[in-house]
Amino acid sequence: MSGKPQKEYTREEVEKHHTTDDLWVIIDAKVYDLSKFKALHPGGISVLLEEDVAGRDATDAFFSLHRYEVLEKPQYQRLQTGTIIGEQGRLHGRIPGSISSVPYAEPNWLSPAYHSAYYNESHRQFQKAVRQFFDDYIYQESELREADGKRPSQAVFDKMAETNIHAMRLGPGKHLQGRTLLGGAVKPEEFDYFHELIIMQELGRVGLRGSGDGLLAGLVIGAPPLINFGKDELKARILPDLLAGKKFICLAISEAHAGSDVTGLKTTAVKSEDGKHWIINGTKKWITNGTFADYFTVGCKTEDGFTTILVERGPGLETKAIKTAYSASAGTAYITFDDVRVPVENTLGEEGAGLFVILSNFNHERFIMCCSIAQTQRRAVEECLKWVHQRTVFGKPLHSQAVVRAKLAAMITRAETCQHWLENIAYQMCQMSYKRQARLLAGPIALLKSYSTRCAQDTARDAVQLFGGRGITTTGMGKFIEHYHRTVPFDALLGGAEDVLSDLGVRQALRDMPKDTRL
Ligand code: HEM
């Protein structure tokens, strides 16, 4: 509502203001004076002067063309001059911190009428606190950064550190010990993969893919090898600043020569004559957060195979930004290593056993990606349900077309199946050690990710069809769908390309085929 004292009018009084110089409209029981604004209106003057708009209730016309958030912008709130006597506004847009009441907009464990075998009271309290945090501190920042391509602000990293969100995003484990998690919303020893799933889904709900990755996706995938395989001295020196959001790390595996095919990598690490240093040469490409990282978890070819090494930014290492289809806020980099010297103590895991380090890390990376992929599909469903509900075509709501409902049925089904399979995997992870997960869940997680990204791409395509031209326009009603459709391939590639992951899932199953079975 506008800060000005609000007058009350009858609808008859408003009707008198229907001329070019004196132009009022009613939107959801609020009266707006557009007399001066009309010349600045992005949709032009003529649409405002139409007979059923000028001086009239333009609520339906307005919501077929604008998102609710237009009315919340301060420059437009000022246009409100009063309200209609005896009437209350009944419409709302996004309500920060709240659970959406649109069907299927939330996973069903969040809807009061449904039940879940997986989530307990701790998860429920935690979800509330995380949603409030993201709505209060992340949502607006992400919108700004997605647009201007800058790295998220240090103030936001600091806020996330204060609540220990950086640490929680690395999953359950010793690194949480002694920390107060989100003001005590969950105890470190109670924190499990469902709490982590909740954080990732709340981030996914923000729905901005590039700035979302800018919020230290590099830490989430680059730090676990350090935590799980780094020497104590190395961890003690580096980890505290990473978890405090003061220093940044990224995972540097893929190359222009080889992406998902880890064994085809060409970057080399050779020991110095005194055996005290690695000397690294080569390049890495598509490295998230690479442009601003201080540390790089690097996969290298070594004499006895493949070794993972933690490299610190220094002489011989350079990063350049790569322009991609999503925001530069993610800090996607091309990295060159020219005789970069690294102490051998920075080796993560055993020399020559780097493949195991990287492959076990992939499980966690793919799991968290599945969390956000399931959630962003749901956000697309919510946007589409709202759109078909408020949009009128040929005199009828868009949802009166059977073909539109069929698309929605497919979208809902995909979002639900991804979520339910994901929750089962999260449950398995809660029961297994990191090693058991690597052994038993690499296949299912790979298949889930590949399935989820296929679903997401189908949903993005269907959503664009429902939104029409708005689905290819970066501002206005279809802005989320346009963004989703443009950025959905990132999920299908990062962390392992779809086909490679499907194949991995089947190969893992074949490995476990009993030798004695026959048809
Ligand atoms: C408080 C009153 C209004 C405000 C503040 C407002 C503001 C805006 C804004 C910001 C846009 C740009 C769309 C975007 O990218 O989000 C826009 C577009 C538009 N507006 Fe309005 N508007 C108002 C009322 C109306 C009314 C009553 C109509 C007539 C039914 C109307 C018709 C349009 C049209 C046709 C467009 C272009 C839509 C498009 O490009 O898809 N506006 N308006």
Please state the atom number of ligand 1 nearest to the C-alpha of residue 71: 5
The ipTM estimated for the assembled molecules is 0.96
pLDDT at 474: 95
Looking at residue 4, its pLDDT comes to: 60
Amino acid identity of residue 68, one-letter, is Y
CB 244 within 8 A of CB 161: yes
| Cβ of 58 below 6 Å from ligand 1 | yes
Are 80 and 29 a contacting pair, CB within 8 Å?
no
66 alpha carbon – ligand 1 mean position (Å): 6
Are 34 and 25 in contact by the 8 Å Cβ rule? The answer is: yes
Which CATH topology does 249-352 take? Butyryl-CoA Dehydrogenase, subunit A; domain 2 (2.40.110)
Question: What separation in angstroms does the CA of 29 have from each of 90, 299, 438?
Answer: 8, 61, 58
Give residue 30's Cα distance to chain centre.
Answer: 35
How much distance in Å is there from the Cα of 326 to the middle of ligand 1?
27
Q: Mean pLDDT across the chain, nearest whole number? A: 95
**pLDDT, tens digit, 9 for 90 and up, residues 85-131:** 999 999 999 899 999 999 999 999 999 889 999 999 999 999 999 99
Instruction: Name the residue at shortest CA distance from atom 19 of ligand 1.
Output: 43
Q: Which atom of ligand 1 is nearest to the CA of 73?
A: 5
Task: Please tell me the residue having the least CA distance from ligand 1 atom 24.
Answer: 62
Nearest C-alpha to atom 25 of ligand 1 is from which residue? 62
Ligand 1 neighbour 310 (Cβ under 6 A): no
Distance CA 449, CA 352 (A): 28
- pLDDT tens figures, 417-448: 999 999 999 999 999 998 899 899 999 999 99
| pLDDT of 250 strictly over 60 | yes
Pocket residue to mutate for ligand 1, from 17, 40, 64, 65, most atoms within 8 A of Cβ: 65
Specify whether the CB–CB gap between 102 and 382 falls below 8 A. Answer: yes
CA 116–ligand 1 middle distance (angstroms): 42
The percent of residues in the chain predicted with pLDDT above 90, rounded, is 93
Find the 441 Cα to ligand 1 centroid distance in Å: 50
Q: Is the CB of 476 under 6 A from ligand 1?
A: yes
Residue 55 contacts by C-beta under 8 Å, 6 or more apart in sequence?
14, 15, 16, 17, 18, 23, 24, 25
pLDDT single digits (tens) 194-216: 999 999 999 999 989 999 999 99
H helix or E strand, kind and range, residue 295: strand 295-302
Q: Is the pLDDT of residue 6 over 90?
A: no
Taking the centre of ligand 1 as the mean of its atom positions, its distance from the CA of residue 510, in whole angstroms, is: 57
What's the CATH number for 360-511?
Answer: 1.20.140.10
Give the pLDDT confidence of 211-237 residue by residue, as tens digits: 999 999 999 999 999 999 999 999 999
C-alpha of residue 48 to centroid of ligand 1, in Å: 9
Confidence (pLDDT) at 360: 82
76 lines ligand 1 (CB under 6 A): yes
Residue 25 in contact with ligand 1 by CB distance below 6 A: yes
Bridge partners of 251? 297
Report the separation in Å between the CA atom of 41 and the middle of ligand 1, taken as the mean of its atom positions: 7
Ligand 1 geometric centre to CA of 378 (Å): 27
- Phi, psi dihedral angles at 275 (to 5 degrees): 75, 10
Please report where in the chains the tokens 């298949």 appear, as a residue.
447
CA of 280 to the centre of ligand 1 (A): 56
**CB distance 26 to ligand 1 below 6 Å:** no
CATH architecture of the domain formed by 7-84: Roll (3.10)
Q: What is the 63 CA–ligand 1 centroid distance (Å)?
A: 9
Q: Is the pLDDT of residue 57 over 60?
A: yes
Q: At what angle are helices 442-467 and 354-390 packed, to 10 degrees? A: 30
Model confidence band, residue 5 (pLDDT cutoffs 50, 70, 90): low
Centre of ligand 1 from the C-alpha of residue 209, in Å: 27
Asked if residue 456 lies in contact with residue 180, where contact means CB atoms within 8 angstroms, the answer is no
**Cα Rg of the chain, angstroms:** 26
pLDDT at 260: 63
Could you tell me how far CA 123 lies from the centroid of its own chain? 20
Q: Count, in order, helices (H) and strands (E) of the chain.
A: 19, 14
| pLDDT higher than threshold 60 for residue 2 | no
Find out whether the beta carbon of 45 lies less than 6 Å from any atom of ligand 1. no
- The helix (H) or strand (E) run that includes residue 364 is helix 354-390
Closest ligand 1 atom number to CA of residue 469: 41
**Ligand 1 pocket residue status of 43, Cβ below 6 Å:** yes
| Ligand 1 touching residue 41 (CB < 6 A) | yes
Strands 249-252 and 295-302: parallel
pLDDT of residue 385: 98
Whether 279 is in the pocket of ligand 1, judged by its Cβ within 6 Å, is no
**CB of residue 42 inside a 6 A radius of ligand 1:** yes
Q: Which of 66, 76, 81 to mutate to test the pocket of ligand 1 (most atoms within 8 A of CB)?
A: 66
* Cβ within 8 Å of residue 333, ≥6 positions away: 250, 284, 287, 289, 290, 291, 293, 319, 320, 321, 322
For ligand 1, is residue 23 a contact (CB within 6 Å)?
no
d(C-alpha 370, C-alpha 224), whole Å: 18
Write the CA distances from 286 to 125, 484, 497, integer angstroms.
37, 20, 13
pLDDT of residue 3: 56
Ligand 1 atom 11: residue of nearest CA: 42
Question: Can you give the pLDDT at residue 45?
Answer: 97
Give distance in angstroms: CA of 472 to centre of ligand 1. 18
Which pLDDT tens digit goes with each residue over 320-365?
A: 999 999 999 999 999 999 999 999 999 999 999 998 898 888 999 9
Domain assignments of the chain as residue spans, ordered by start: 7-84, 108-215, 249-352, 360-511
Whether 311 and 344 have beta carbons less than 8 Å apart is answered as no
**Rounded to an integer, what distance in angstroms lies between the CA atom of residue 298 and that of residue 518?**
44
pLDDT at 492 over 90: yes
Ligand 1 midpoint to CA 222 (Å): 44
Tell me which residue has its CA closest to atom 30 in ligand 1: 61
Q: Is the CB of 368 under 6 A from ligand 1?
A: no
